[in-house]
A and B are shown apart, each in its own frame.
Chain A
Amino acid sequence: MALKTKTSTRIGVTALGWSIALWLFFPIFWMILTSFKSEVQAISTPPKLFFMPTLSSYGEVFERASYWHFALNTVIVSVGATAIAVVLAVPAAYSMAFLPSKRTRGILLWMLSTRMLPPVGVLVPIYLLARNTHLLDTCTGLAVVDMLTNLPIIVWMLYTFFREVPAPILEAGRMDGATRWQEMTMVLLPLALPGIASTALLSLILCWNEAFWSLNLTSSHAAPLTAFIASFSSPEGLFFGKLSAASTLAVAPILVFGWISQKQLVRGLTFGAVK
């Protein structure tokens, strides 16, 4: 009897999981589908599920804009911002996890709360700062802003991972004569590596998809893939075929990357919860 309920619950949960996954995946699926249609097919009603696929949208997209230029910018900005953020966050999280003070908790919450601020609230000051430092439309400028917006989450995540490392192991290192630096690099980092990897992965994804700052702080030279997509949405009205092709090209790398590393990502994100 109990077994039977268990089985039916399991089937229910599985069904629910699949429907949510399909629900979330559908727009992506539709976008990819549309990217292989001609512009006429793309706006036909009722929408066609079966049609003769064509690469014409892709051809036009590649003809009109230099995809590789945008993609390279995205890679530079995402990897750069993530690398700098992790390098800055490791010592910060170390001190909060292992040398906490009365104010540590408050500082962590305050840092996280800055993420809740709508970015547009600081658009003007950031724009002016970027302009006055000549960082407008540069990969450096965008990377710095991306890095700063993600830093709170990265510190918070690393802090959580570091807290899982038993303090006596680090103390044993100190007894063995390790300096703080050696303790961090030779004992803590190898132990927290899975956590650091998934944090970096998440940061990479966030930076890759970040649109608000890239649209506002770059125009041509440093424009990343989000700007590439946007360039297909405005001037001559909406061309869904080309828009979908551009979007597919923009999200494909990170989607594939995420797919390959999903084990690591899930393991990292549930690290504290399941152990």
Chain B
Amino acid sequence: MATVELKNLRKTYLTEEIIKGISLSIQEREFVVFVGPSGCGKSTLLRMIAGLEDITSGDLLIDGQRINDVEPGKRGLAMVFQSYALYPHMNVYRNMEFGLKLAGMPEAERRAKIEHVARTLQLEPYLHHKPGQLSGGQRQRVAIGRAIVRSPKVFLFDEPLSNLDAALRGQMRVELSALHRKLDATTIYVTHDQVEAMTMADKIVVLQKGVVEQIGSPLELYHHPRNLFVARFIGSPPMNFFPAIFQGGDSAGSSVQLRDGSTLYVPVTSPGLLPGTKVTVGIRPEHVELTSSGPNSGVVEVIERLGAITLVHVRMPEGEIIVVQTDGAVLTEVETRVSLTLPPKNCHLFAPDGLAFEACHRHPLAA
């Protein structure tokens, strides 16, 4: 249980800056997820915290102590790797024992600890198996067990579920969340999967190209994305975007003109923006409403029926596709003409630089 603080962390490989000044505070017992597209620097940042990569500049603090130059094994952290990285020549018991032994823990104490953790993770039958004899899911558990036995101050996970199949991934996600609550430890978890981020995190850090795009709770990112990147990245299927012209605004909202001439009065503020500026409107598929007639009409191009919900892909006259998430029982068919209603309270506006306009009212779940 510990706090972690990153102060303007930077990492340069040769001449290329990979991590471009990241500052972040992690509270005790918090489950923080670093999320972002592949290659954005998530693993590098995690490895800098772990001590496996040197920190080019900035400060890394655990419980207020600067630990930039402390050996990885002495930072009080445990890490679960994407490839599990179990010691192939040691059985499950020895894998979990290795760190304890190096730390000089007495034999009896080690045994008690390992057996306790093995029971928690249902690993007891496999204690004398080598990693090569285990399935992917079991190896994953061993890797987690090896981290837990050391009772670290902070757990680090680097895409631990990405080598599992979909069903197992869903199950492990739930188990990891439950485990986190039970262990009461601070956790930093890296993933490129926004579903994992949304479901597990107390706090999500969205990264892109070594820069923090937004930090917030899952619902904060969902309801109030700070910019186009976050809006596009969080939510599945992703948010729809289309261009509009800014017309003017007041303290209760801003009005924009869509390309078909209709206007939309969105409850967001737009201080200092000149009328006539090109802006981007964003709306999530689950917020667009489908009607049989009216303005904003287009032709249904694809229908994806997922059972509980249906995704309707509508081709607009201007050429772009708007995805609508609707009821599982909707009767709409391909090639028919439908109209879309865009509830203004669910619309987002983005300035030309990609930044979102401030919402007039915060969503109650995203305080």
A177 close to B (CB within 8 Å) = yes
Given contacts A169-B87, A187-B87, A190-B89, contact A177 B102 (CB under 8 A): yes
Given contacts A176-B73, A176-B98, A177-B102, contact A171 B81 (CB under 8 A): yes
Closest residue of chain A to B156 (Cβ to Cβ) is A175
- The reply to whether A175 and B72 contact each other, CB–CB distance below 8 Å, is yes
How many residues from B make CB contacts under 8 Å with A? Answer: 24
CB distance from B54 to the nearest CB of A (A): 12
Chain A 230-256 against B: per-residue CB contact (8 Å), 1 yes, 0 no? 000000000000000000000000000
CA of A176 to CA of B79, assembled, Å? 9
CB distance from A103 to the nearest CB of B (A): 13
Residues in chain B near residue A177, CB distance under 8 A: 71, 73-74, 99, 102-103
Closest residue of chain B to A169 (Cβ to Cβ) is B85
Chain A 169-180 against B: per-residue CB contact (8 Å), 1 yes, 0 no? 101111111100
Q: Which residue in B50, B82, B86 is a CB contact (below 8 Å) of A175?
A: B50
CB distance from A249 to the nearest CB of B (A): 40
A205 close to B (CB within 8 Å) = no
Chain B 73-101 against A: per-residue CB contact (8 Å), 1 yes, 0 no? 11001110111011111000000001100
CA of A190 to CA of B72, assembled, Å? 22
A269 close to B (CB within 8 Å) = no
Residues in chain A near residue B99, CB distance under 8 A: 175-177
B150 close to A (CB within 8 Å) = yes
A106 close to B (CB within 8 Å) = no
Q: Which residue in A168, A182, A187 is a CB contact (below 8 Å) of B81?
A: A168
B52 close to A (CB within 8 Å) = yes
Q: Which residue in A169, A171, A178, A191 is a CB contact (below 8 Å) of B102?
A: A178
Mark out the residues of chain A between 159 and 199 whose CB falls within 8 Å of any chain B CB in the assembled complex.
Answer: 166, 168-169, 171-178, 182, 186-187, 190-191
- The reply to whether A176 and B89 contact each other, CB–CB distance below 8 Å, is no
Residues in chain A near residue B87, CB distance under 8 A: 169, 172-173, 187
CA of A166 to CA of B82, assembled, Å? 12
Residues in chain B near residue A182, CB distance under 8 A: 102
CA of A176 to CA of B152, assembled, Å? 10
Chain A 115-157 against B: per-residue CB contact (8 Å), 1 yes, 0 no? 0000000000000000000000000000000000000000000
- The reply to whether B79 and A172 contact each other, CB–CB distance below 8 Å, is yes
Residues in chain A near residue B86, CB distance under 8 A: 169, 172
- The reply to whether B89 and A172 contact each other, CB–CB distance below 8 Å, is no
Residues in chain B near residue A187, CB distance under 8 A: 87
Q: Which residue in B52, B82, B150 is a CB contact (below 8 Å) of A174?
A: B52
CB distance from B146 to the nearest CB of A (A): 8
CA of A177 to CA of B51, assembled, Å? 11
Closest residue of chain A to B96 (Cβ to Cβ) is A176
Closest residue of chain B to A176 (Cβ to Cβ) is B99
- The reply to whether A168 and B73 contact each other, CB–CB distance below 8 Å, is no
Closest residue of chain B to A178 (Cβ to Cβ) is B102
Residues in chain B near residue A173, CB distance under 8 A: 87, 98
- The reply to whether A169 and B72 contact each other, CB–CB distance below 8 Å, is no
- The reply to whether A171 and B103 contact each other, CB–CB distance below 8 Å, is no
CA of A199 to CA of B50, assembled, Å? 35
CA of A182 to CA of B71, assembled, Å? 14
CA of A275 to CA of B142, assembled, Å? 25
Closest residue of chain B to A180 (Cβ to Cβ) is B71
Chain B 291-326 against A: per-residue CB contact (8 Å), 1 yes, 0 no? 000000000000000000000000000000000000
Given contacts A172-B79, A175-B78, contact A191 B98 (CB under 8 A): no
Closest residue of chain B to A182 (Cβ to Cβ) is B102
Residues in chain B near residue A169, CB distance under 8 A: 85-88
Residues in chain B near residue A190, CB distance under 8 A: 89
Which of the listed residues A168, A174, A177 has the most CB atoms from chain B within 10 Å of its own CB?
A177
CB distance from A8 to the nearest CB of B (A): 39
- The reply to whether B102 and A166 contact each other, CB–CB distance below 8 Å, is no
Which of the listed residues B50, B72, B146 has the most CB atoms from chain A within 10 Å of its own CB?
B72
CA of A45 to CA of B83, assembled, Å? 68
Chain B 47-63 against A: per-residue CB contact (8 Å), 1 yes, 0 no? 00011100000000000
Q: Which residue in A175, A178, A186, A191 is a CB contact (below 8 Å) of B77?
A: A175
CB distance from A138 to the nearest CB of B (A): 40
CB distance from B150 to the nearest CB of A (A): 7
CA of A131 to CA of B86, assembled, Å? 52
Residues in chain A near residue B52, CB distance under 8 A: 171, 174-175
Closest residue of chain B to A168 (Cβ to Cβ) is B85
CA of A50 to CA of B200, assembled, Å? 83
- The reply to whether A174 and B81 contact each other, CB–CB distance below 8 Å, is no
CB distance from A224 to the nearest CB of B (A): 37
CA of A175 to CA of B143, assembled, Å? 12
CA of A178 to CA of B77, assembled, Å? 13
CA of A189 to CA of B87, assembled, Å? 12
Closest residue of chain B to A172 (Cβ to Cβ) is B85
CB distance from A84 to the nearest CB of B (A): 26
14 further contact pairs, Cβ within 8 A, besides A172-B79, A175-B73, A177-B71: A169-B87, A171-B52, A171-B72, A172-B86, A172-B87, A172-B146, A173-B87, A175-B77, A175-B79, A177-B99, A177-B102, A178-B73, A186-B98, A187-B87
Show 17 A/B contacts (Cβ-Cβ < 8 Å), sorted by A.
A168-B83, A168-B85, A171-B72, A172-B81, A172-B87, A174-B51, A174-B71, A175-B50, A175-B52, A175-B78, A175-B79, A176-B73, A176-B99, A177-B102, A178-B98, A191-B88, A191-B89
Which 7 A/B pairs are nearest by Cβ-Cβ distance? A177-B73, A176-B99, A168-B85, A172-B85, A177-B102, A168-B81, A190-B89
